[in-house]
Structure 1
């Protein structure tokens, strides 16, 4: 029995040593990725430095065209949208940006299901926060979202255990939308047209998520004088969202943050040629939406959004090919 316990303890020690040795190796491999979604996350955390940044989920990624925003304002713009992200990941990205510089304007694409309501995969984007070694508040933020993360993060490989295949694939596959050569300043266009018998956009509960709302409040407080909150259109008219909509509106009003609510925009709701699916505009629709959004944003924040022709000195041109590095 004593021999068995001794052998077991030795095995545990070997496993722990391997874990701690492999963690930094995986971390370095992750940080060297410059393609695919991981490459974009690295770029946002390490290098992005645009006057205007767009934060949000896939509806940000596919709905906001930075070149139109730049043409209208004369300021550089980068789309930080990430598929499936919610308020937790977007707040982490904001904090990573603020560690390096302060954007002149932050546009937040608010999607109630991911940013305010309870959802069956509410914490799924947390796995994208764990590898963010650049983020100074990472550990405290993870522990706040889930107290057990404090214990799990003692493991060296835990932050990467669901991403090992993605780290390898990011340098080898070419079918990711993030590697599309048309991707421009973070924007990834869609070119499909919704079918008459389309799948409806997923329904969410109407119950507020207190933890999400607390992080939404933190995001508002972090950049309230520079922030514009937007909800872009859906293909189908949305049901009554008053139970969730009113608290968000009240939060924005309390901090004097404009909220541009275009979920029911008649110029796009139900207009099939402008939609890729029930929740995402195609490139044609995105360009219509972006023009309307920036028109309203300039009225809401005239002191921040300069007229076209007044170029800001930090305007940067970003690579629109298959990596997220700046042009040299």
Structure 2
């Protein structure tokens, strides 16, 4: 019995030591990632370190469709694109709240899509424990079992290093969050998308983002970016009504006649580099017009 207990104690101590080492190495790695717009370093920078005057929020349509360099040049203010593939309103609000712990942006631009409000929110495990803001919001959506498991570094970082492969290979280098797409979409076909689903946690996140911008005197601009044969009119109408009721500047460009040609698209959802340049310029003109009113 004593031998068994001794071995069990040694195993337990070994696991604790390994857990501590894994946590230290992982946190050190995250803190010293090279500048990149690849998923992991981009997400870490957006949530943990970035400060800017103009903050761009959204999913992949924002990341690939709004050029912060052009906004910086025209407004003479720092600009950062925090858009990330597949993310939702919960994530947009999390980024804003995290940034507010460091500085307050003057302008927030949000590119909205049905995914923004129709998604199951999540926070990457590797972010847990890096920031009180991240922990606070993660605990709101996690089960109590998940929150307990996240106390373990072995669990928290068990898929971190595979996610870093793109960064190690030097892909998506940059430090402004923008990753333009090249190529032209030629297989234009109508994709019906007339279903409106608004998840309660996403609606709460939208409400909090709008409320935060109003309280902090941040200029808030919401857009639905151009798309090619893939448009959800029910979502567009819902967002227009919401923005009108909450006094948020909104512009639906999903069916803008200036973007009907395929030369502006990488695929049916995303603008290519040429389309992104035009869309960014339209945003700049729109914001300038609002500021003059």
Q: Same fold (TM over 0.5)?
A: yes
Q: Deviations over 1:72-126 (max 9, x none)?
A: 323232212222222222222212211111111011111222x111x4xx34x52
Alpha-carbon distance between aligned partners in 2 of 1:43 and 1:227, rounded to the nearest angstrom: 22
Equivalent residue for 1:51? 53
After superposition, residues 173-322 of structure 1 pair within 5 angstroms as 173-174=169-170, 176=171, 178-179=172-173, 185-196=176-187, 206-224=196-214, 225=217, 226-236=219-229, 238-241=231-234, 244-269=235-260, 271-302=261-292
Equivalent residue for 1:160? 157
Equivalent residue for 1:321? none
Alignment pair present for 1:74 and 2:67: no
Alignment pair present for 1:147 and 2:143: yes
Change beyond 3 A, Cα 1:157–1:220: farther
User: What secondary structure is seen at the aligned counterpart in 2 of 1:276?
Assistant: coil
More relative contact order, 1 or 2 (CA 8 Å, 6+ apart): 1
TM-score (norm 2): 0.85
Note the C-alpha offset of 1:237.
5.1
TM-score (norm 1): 0.77
Alignment pair present for 1:14 and 2:14: yes
Change beyond 3 A, Cα 1:6–1:216: farther
Check the 8 A contact 2:81/2:178 in 1, yes or no.
Answer: yes
User: What secondary structure is seen at the aligned counterpart in 2 of 1:228?
Assistant: strand
Task: Give the count of matched residue pairs.
Answer: 287
Alpha-carbon distance between aligned partners in 2 of 1:171 and 1:272, rounded to the nearest angstrom: 31
Change beyond 3 A, Cα 1:52–1:202: farther
Give unmatched runs, 5+ long, in structure 1: 304-328
Equivalent residue for 1:314? none
Alpha-carbon distance between aligned partners in 2 of 1:185 and 1:255, rounded to the nearest angstrom: 30
User: What secondary structure is seen at the aligned counterpart in 2 of 1:260?
Assistant: strand
Give unmatched runs, 5+ long, in structure 2: none
User: What secondary structure is seen at the aligned counterpart in 2 of 1:82?
Assistant: coil
User: What secondary structure is seen at the aligned counterpart in 2 of 1:267?
Assistant: helix
Check the 8 A contact 2:181/2:271 in 1, yes or no.
Answer: yes
Whose helix proportion is higher, 1 or 2?
2
Equivalent residue for 1:116? 117
Note the C-alpha offset of 1:203.
5.3
Check the 8 A contact 1:96/1:134 in 2, yes or no.
Answer: no
